[in-house]
Amino acid sequence: MSEKFEKLDSKSPIPLYFQLKSFIEEQIDTGVWEAGTQIPSELELSEQFQISRTTIRQAIGELVNERKLERIQGRGTFVTEISIDKQIERVSGFSQDMRTRGLTPTSDILNFEKVAAPSDAARALRIREGEPAILLKRLRMGNNRRIALEVVYLPYEKYVGLLDVNIGNESLYEILAKKFAVWPKYSEQIIESIKCPAAEADLLGIESGGPVFLFHTTAYDQYDQPLEYTEGYYRGDRYILHLTNVVNPSSNS
């Protein structure tokens, strides 16, 4: 445990249970306690912080109700796995998805460079195979937990100057809107459930062959022109697909 939290402040107007709850949330949010990690027992927490087990149960109980912790009978209390409910009937970027669910989106930029467009990307972007494209490969996280690996291709000639931008944790769609005055109008997606290849699995922190959703996404701008093409690997244990189907009123069946 962090030395900063070795003791709770009994003189503070903030209740002890809430101080403990805040400590546990910080351990989760900063990735010290990752998803699936068993947290210390009530006895260990009681000895660590010199507080009653009743206080500990109150803090843990609230976090269980908020689905940040999970009690498993006979085993203990564990950090809950993130489950992102992806509504695929609307266009939204990863950053927006995370913020909508109260999570902080961050990224590790693995590649951001000019490349020759591979065949799938060229076809989606309506350029010739081998023509210049911008490759943006990012490991995407929510509250510091690895959720997705995105491999994005953009037409180089359309976004001259993009490689000079410090993308960091920014939303790509927000950058394109500010710098190039284009934004997504709609997208086409093909979604597969696959066994994750070894290289991608290593980056996502899962076993090779583990289940992932593979999204092939082509987004189109307000002029109905290809905006970007993405191949996104989303962890199957942290992503849920949510579809809304509209019944054709003319159908009698």
Q: What pLDDT does residue 4 have? A: 44
Written as six digits, the tokens of 65 are 């109700």
Q: What pLDDT does residue 74 have? A: 84
Residues in CB range of 149: below 8 A, 6 or more apart: 137, 138, 139, 140, 200, 203, 204, 232, 233
Q: What pLDDT does residue 20 have? A: 92
Single-letter residue type at 79: V
Torsion angle, CA of 246/249/250/252, rounded to 10 degrees? 90
Show pLDDT as tens, one digit a residue, over the chain (253 residues).
443 445 788 888 888 999 899 899 888 877 788 878 899 999 999 988 999 999 999 999 989 887 788 888 888 999 887 655 454 555 556 766 667 667 777 889 999 999 999 999 999 999 999 999 999 999 998 887 888 999 999 999 999 999 999 988 788 998 999 999 999 988 998 899 999 999 999 999 889 999 999 999 999 999 999 999 999 999 988 777 666 666 656 545 4
184-195/239-242 β-pairing: unpaired
Neighbour-count burial for 82-94, b at 16+ CB within 10 Å, e otherwise:
bebebeeeebbbb
Torsion angle, CA of 232/86/96/61, rounded to 10 degrees? -120
Is the CB of residue 56 less than 8 Å from the CB of residue 42?
Answer: yes
In the chain the domains, ranked by start, together with CATH numbers, are 3-79 (1.10.10.10), 84-242 (3.40.1410.10)
Give the H/E segment covering residue 248.
none
Distance CA 245, CA 253 (A): 15
